[in-house]
Amino acid sequence: MPSGKNEWWRDAVIYQVYPRSFSDSDGDGLGDIPGILNRVNYLDNLGVDAIWISPFYDSPLLDGGYDVADYRLVDPRLGEVSDIEDLLAAAHSKGMKIFMDIVPNHTSSEHAWFQEVLRSEPGSPAWDRYVIKEGKGSNHELPPTNWQSVFHGDAWSPLVLANGEKTKYWYLHIFDSSQPDVNWENPEVRAEFEDILRFWFDLGIDGFRIDVAHGLIKDQSFPDINYDSIPEQELLGEPILTPFWDQDGVHEVYRSWRKLADSYDPPRVFCGETSAPSPERLALYQRPDELHTSFNFDYLRAGFDAAKLKTSVDATLLNHKLVSAPATWVLSNHDIVRHATRLAPGQSEHPTIMPTPENADRGLSRARAATLFTLGLPGSTYLYQGEELGLPEVLDLPGDARQDPVWFRTQGKELGRDGCRVPIPWSGDIPSYGFGPGENSWLPQPDSWQNLSVQAQESGDTTLNFYRDALAKRREEPATGDGELEWRMDEFTIANDSVLAYRRPHPTQPLTCIMNTDDGMWKVPQIFGTDVLVASGPEVAVVDSGDGEHLVIGPETCVWVRG
Ligand code: GLC
């Protein structure tokens, strides 16, 4: 992490591990905690400051672990609490922090609390821990509101008791029907989640990523939504105003959580998975007595478009500055199409067919450029496992292998998110490419991945070595991380709206990041110098066309230069 900044989270590079797909120590086809432990050296050499591990709790896995059956247990297929302690010790010995995921909006329907609902009388205290309401219609045969699930279909399901008795009640599930929403109006719920945080903080966990952080509080008048007046609801609960997103009351929860985190030495840290309808509303979550950071999905949606990227960077920095919080940046995660595929020419945010080989190559060039551009921005950056290998989205998984509830709830009309969760190729030339000791992997890996494994990319001009190089530079260069950004757009001698350039000032080691989003070469004005620190692609040259030396950068390429 760049020197001189004492709050590590303000400018850390945090690597997301999706544990079931990262590394399998026992050959059952499912990644596990000892598997992560085996890869701590790899992550250390890659040059990341922290690891965020997606849920590893006990879970029926109906939503990849975001359906938690017991918040104090590790899924026995993944290990046990002592494995987490070993992992913490190994990571901490290398100076790396560990974030885990807390899922407070809903539990699994297999959680003891929901099971208690199914075995108790309507109106009993157990019922008040969930959002349960009488159905509408003369026989209560209609859901209480018209709210739609993020995963498609109704957000309410009829409540049928364990003994098979039908009731006039429905329970809310903003996600899958196996994920009942918890009632955050109930003080017992608040106390329980703080106790869970304490359990893991006591163990030494450095912080939490908060799942659906903007969703906990529901408008208690339970109004219907006029879906015709808002854009189509997208996968992650996009920044639209609904009675279940971004309600003011949610801030009280985080003020209380912050006090808890601050009571530890060193203080523990939060990053919210927060979608708000505007950058101003998003910034409210990062007020000094709330969450330290939140994900910034606006930037992720800007694509490979110079104007949109600049607008998003400006709005993000402005609004974070107002609350003295650092920005975060991310291009890929376990919920969205990998950026090597998403950024390929002609792709949409939800592509369904693989790009042509030529466009796939361009997608990777663009992804590398976007990564370098991102790593230079002020704040912290999240990387998603496998992006350092340039892994593409796997769009052609067989239907019977798919496991995402989105695939099931849309009857296969939407592919869902399995394509970015295919297990990582580490080595060798037959599946599972070193993911586990044998050939098992819970999702099949494409044959082409033998050329993308860590082993295959150890030497040469590979995407893995580019990431290592860029992360090393980010660590060495004191201008990166937290701090100021100055656009240098006005210094272009040639007007070119496909190029972005910003400077990170420093008294002795300033640097400038220049990105060419165009598909042609770009002659960089002399004022930018020729001292290249790191480049996202091979086509970078110093030429002298008679008027002195200047840089030429290739299509869809980003460079950092001194100055
Ligand atoms: C978050 C997670 C996603 C999960 C959903 C429901 O958006 O990132 O994977 O399906 O919440 O928990």
Cα–Cα distance measured from residue 37 to residue 88, given in angstroms and rounded to the nearest whole number: 9
Nearest CA to ligand 1 atom 4: 66
Asked whether residue 180 is domain-assigned, the answer is no
Assess whether 96 and 118 both reside in one domain.
no
For ligand 1, the distance from its centroid to the CA atom of residue 20, given in whole angstroms, is 15
Task: Give residue 374's pLDDT.
Answer: 98
CATH number, domain containing residue 527: 2.60.40.1180
Q: How far is the CA of 66 from the centre of ligand 1 (A)?
A: 6
211 CB within 6 A, ligand 1: yes
Same domain, 212 and 99: yes
Under a CB-based contact definition with an 8 Å cutoff, are residues 64 and 404 in contact? yes
> Are 87 and 193 contained in the same domain?
yes
Residue 23 sits in the same domain as residue 97: yes
Task: Give the single-character DSSP code of 356.
Answer: P
For ligand 1, say whether the CB of 11 is within 6 Å of any of its atoms. Answer: no
- Residue 423 covered by a domain: yes
Residues 100 and 130 reside in one and the same domain: no
Question: Which CATH number characterizes residue 158's domain?
Answer: 3.90.400.10
Residue 473 lies in a domain: no
Token duo for residue 369: 């450029």
HSE, CB side, 13 Å, CA atoms: give it for residue 11. Answer: 23
- Please report the pLDDT score of residue 347 as a whole number: 85
Residue at 492 is within a domain: yes
For residue 374, the Cα-to-chain-centroid distance in whole angstroms is 14
Same domain assignment for residues 58 and 167? no
> Which residue(s) pair with 158 in the sheet?
170
Q: What is the CATH number of the domain that holds 394?
A: 3.20.20.80
Q: What's the CA-to-centroid distance between 159 and ligand 1, angstroms?
A: 23
Query: Which of 328, 310, 337, 201 has the alpha carbon at shortest distance from 274?
Result: 328
Give, in degrees to the nearest 5, the angle at Cα 429 between 425 and 430: 85
User: What span, in angstroms and rounded, lies between the C-alpha atoms of 72 and 195?
Assistant: 10
Q: Are residues 43 and 123 both part of a single domain?
A: no
Distance 22 CA to ligand 1 centre (A): 18
Rounded CA separation 513/533 (Å): 10
Tokens of 171: 């329970």
Task: Please indicate, yes or no, whether residues 10 and 55 belong to a single structural domain of this protein.
Answer: yes
Task: Identify whether 168 is part of a domain.
Answer: yes
> 335 CB under 6 A from ligand 1?
yes
Residues 224 and 145 in one domain: no
Helix (H) or strand (E) holding 300: helix 297-300
Ligand 1 atom at minimum distance from 417 CA: 9
Q: Which domain holds residue 505?
A: 484-562
Q: Please, which residues bridge with residue 16 across strands?
A: 52, 384
Report the C-alpha gap between 542 and 391 in whole angstroms: 31
C-beta of 477 in contact with ligand 1 (< 6 A)? no
In this structure, the answer to whether residues 507 and 453 fall within a common structural domain is no
Of 312, 314, 308, 261, nearest in space to 288 by CA: 261
Do 334 and 268 share a structural domain? yes
In a domain, 471, yes or no: no
**Among protein residues, the one whose CA lies closest to atom 2 of ligand 1:** 211
Instruction: Choose one of 172, 206, 221: the last residue of a domain.
Output: 172
CB of 235 closer than 6 A to ligand 1?
A: no
495, 525 in Cβ contact below 8 A?
Answer: no
Number of domains into which the chain is organized? 3
Query: Is 474 within a domain?
Result: no
Alpha carbon nearest to ligand 1 atom 5, residue = 66
Q: 412 alpha carbon to ligand 1 midpoint, in Å? A: 19
Q: What is the pLDDT of residue 240?
A: 59
Which of 124, 147, 172 represents a domain boundary (last residue)? Answer: 172
Q: Could you say which of 466, 500, 530 is where a domain stops?
A: 466
Mean pLDDT by 10 residues, the chain (563 residues): 65 98 98 98 98 98 97 98 98 98 98 98 95 97 96 96 96 98 98 98 98 97 86 49 91 98 97 88 94 93 94 94 95 97 88 90 98 98 98 96 94 94 98 97 96 97 98 97 92 74 97 96 92 95 90 97 97
Shortest-distance atom of ligand 1 to CA 66:
12
**Residues 134 and 97 reside in one and the same domain:** no
3-state secondary structure of 331: coil
Distance 211 CA to ligand 1 centre (A): 6
Q: Looking at the domain assignment, is residue 529 inside a domain?
A: yes
Cis peptide leading into 432, omega within 30 of 0? yes
